[in-house]
Each structure stands twice: as structure tokens, then as C-alpha cells.
Amino acid sequence: MAEDPVNVNEYQELARQALPKMYYDFYAGGAEDQYTLKENVEAFRRIMFRPRVLIDVSKISLSTTILGYNVSAPIMIAPTSMHKLAHPEGEVATARAAAACNVIMIVSYSSMCTVEEVASSCDAIRFFQIYVYKRRDITAQLVRRAERSGYKAIVLTVDVPRLGKREADIKNNLGTVKLSLSFYDRMIQPQLKNFEGLLPTQVVSDEGSNFKAYADLTLDASLSWKDIGWLRSITKLPILIKGVLTHEDAIKAVEAGAAGIVVSNHGARQLDHTPATISVLEEVVHAVKGKVPVFVDGGVRRGTDIFKALALGAQAVLIGRPVVYGLAAKGETGVRRVTEMLKDELELTMALSGCPTIKDITRGHVITDRERLQSSL
């Protein structure tokens, strides 16, 4: 691709060209048949606009607040793993781009830079994503380190009692015993930088993959709603619960004291044939009845997608793979460009839909495929 990308999707191809196939597949792949991976994107395309005209849109403002923090746009950088596989500067480069764009970065627990390194690299507003581990002291230590380093919220991922079956990784023999441990050393061990002195630096499985063995060793399949209370007891930071797809769990999250909910299917990397996140967003929004903000990730590739999510009740979207693709293609500059592209497209969509501010975007600005079908009957 000789020309500079003109949209976010073109960064994916640049990333595919730049990365070893093993790494690209790790970032790009989903679970099993990858039905949900495709559906996350396709579901946005089935939502149509209902633009309003003859409204003054000579000035457009994308600015909003997230948990009380002023940001330039309703965009957050989602927690994604091991950015140094995409670029040598890793999460530090991503954080600097987030700061330059004035958007929030959610730093993954499996960052290849420590929470302290990311914090000292720039003045971006940062949240920290964690799991609750079998050893609760590890979770507690990570939370305390995030607090000391100025992170503003904890994002608890709750949809991984076990690791999903990611067949692209299996086909690449990621960490299987048929290979030497060279892959494990590149893919698993670096992510333990945040866990030095807390967890083993090598996990070897007699069958299957070492990546799965690592997850089985650390992640707690007994995690339940009562553990949210424990997490709240060890931190003053607000806790967002990431991985909710139903109104039942949304209600439980509010009852458990969550400060916000992220509607997420883990980038379609866990349970295949879960619904596209945009298709269940309204269900969750209606369930919480405005008590906490609702965010959504999965399949966002255009500013039009962001507008649709906001119209259906999201306060902001999380951007995952496109950020990694930008990082792989052009480093910090690529992440900035991906973010600015989405902001520019959102601004244009708002202007063409008659919405000068984020607050002007309403449910009446979109129509879903289900509504179109009902109106045709």
C-alpha cells in the first residue's frame, strides 16, 4: 500500500505486512469459527442513520466527560496485550499517543511495560485493567501500584474463567510442546514484567499450549459477584466491569457497586457465537436505567460506528485492534493517526446528522435492522 491510509481499515493491511504472521494472527484472530469476530463489525453496518437537517452545525464539539474527566472525544483505548510485539516502544508509545489526542488509555494487565513505566511516560488519563487472580495478593498489589502511579479507575475483566479456543494461534503452534520454548519466551514471559517476583516466569504444559497453561495457573474460575465486594474493599478507585452482555448481568453489576459497565465479548476471542456487542448495547443501557455509564467495545472501525454506539446509549467506545494495527504500522504516529481518523469521521457524521455536540446525538438518529423489519410488516 504505497499511499498513506485514508481510513482505519487500511492500517490493518499495513500491520499484516509489518508483523510476523504469528504476531498478526495473535492480534487479529478470534475464537473458533470467528463468527462473532465478523459479526462485531457487520452488526454496525446494519444500523442506518436518520439525519436531521437545517440545524446549525457550523461548530462541532466532540468533547465529553468520562467518570468526570474531560476528554476530547468519546473514545478510549481498550486494554490489549503485549504492545512490544507490535512496536519496540510498546505501551509507552500508545500512552503518548493517547495523551497527544487527549483520550483515555486503559492499560492491560499484560502490558509489556510496567504500570510505572507507562505512567511516567506522559500525562495521559489512564485506567488499569486487571483480572482477579487465584492469589488475591497479586491482584491487590497490582491495584495498589496502579493507585500509586496515578491511574484513575480499575477495569475488571470478568469473561475469562477459562481461555477461549483461538484456532489461529493453535494453527501457528503458539507455545505448544511440539515447539521449543522460544515462542513462550517471546509471548508469555515478557508479559510477566508487571508480575516479577509474584508469579513463575515459566509455565510448561505436557499437552496443549503453554499460553493456556499460564491462564489456567493464574486466572480464577471460581470468581463470582461476591468478589466484586472484595475488590471494592481494597481500592478507592472506581471499578468498571468489562464483559457484560445481558440485562441480567448489567443489573447485578450495578447492585455489586460497579461505577460503570463495558459491554464486551472480549473482541470475539472467548465464546464464539455470542452476539455482536452493538446488538446488545441497548439491552444493557435499559437495564442500568442511567445509574452508571455504559461503554462498548468490539467492531468499531469508523466514526460512523462511534455515532451509532452513542445513539444507542453508550457514553464512549473502546478501540482495540485498530490501535494495535496503527502501532505496528507506524508506532506512536500510527496510534495518533488512527485516533484522529476516528475523531474526524465522528465529527463529519455529527455534522451531516445535525448534531453539533455529543449531547445532541439521540436514539432518534439511528434505526436498527430489527426496527426496519418491524416497520415493513
| Distance, CA of 190 to CA of 306 (rounded, Å) | 33
Provide the Cα torsion 192, 27, 335, 150; round to 10°. -30
Is the distance from CB of 95 to CB of 122 less than 8 angstroms? yes
Is 0.75 surpassed by the pTM of this model?
yes
Is the distance from CB of 37 to CB of 268 less than 8 angstroms? yes
Q: What pLDDT, on a 0 to 100 scale, did the predictor assign at position 239? A: 98
Let me know the angle formed at the C-alpha of 316 by 194 and 336, rounded to the nearest 5 degrees: 65
What grid cell was written down for 222? 471460581
Could you list the pLDDT tens digit for every one of the 377 residues in the chain?
A: 457 899 999 999 999 999 999 999 999 999 999 999 999 999 999 999 999 999 999 999 999 999 999 999 999 999 999 999 999 999 999 999 999 999 999 999 989 999 999 999 999 899 999 999 888 999 999 999 999 999 999 999 999 988 888 877 777 765 433 333 344 444 544 455 777 777 664 555 444 455 566 666 678 889 999 999 999 999 999 999 999 999 999 999 999 999 999 999 999 999 999 999 999 999 999 999 999 999 999 999 999 999 999 999 999 999 999 999 999 999 999 999 999 999 999 999 999 999 999 999 999 999 998 888 877 76
Enumerate the active-site residues.
266
| Distance, CA of 65 to CA of 123 (rounded, Å) | 17
Number of Cβ within 10 Å of residue 82's Cβ equals 22
Number of Cβ within 10 Å of residue 178's Cβ equals 6
Nearby residues of 65 by Cβ (< 8 Å), 6 or more positions away: 71
Q: Which of 257, 231, 226, 256 has its CA nearest to residue 132?
A: 231
Residue count of the chain, please give it.
Answer: 377
What grid cell was written down for 81? 496485550
Q: How far, in Å, are 73, 129, 250, 274, 304 from residue 238 at the CA level? A: 21, 12, 16, 28, 29
- Give me the residue spans of the domains in the chain: 8-375
The domain made up of 8-375 is a member of CATH 3.20.20.70: yes
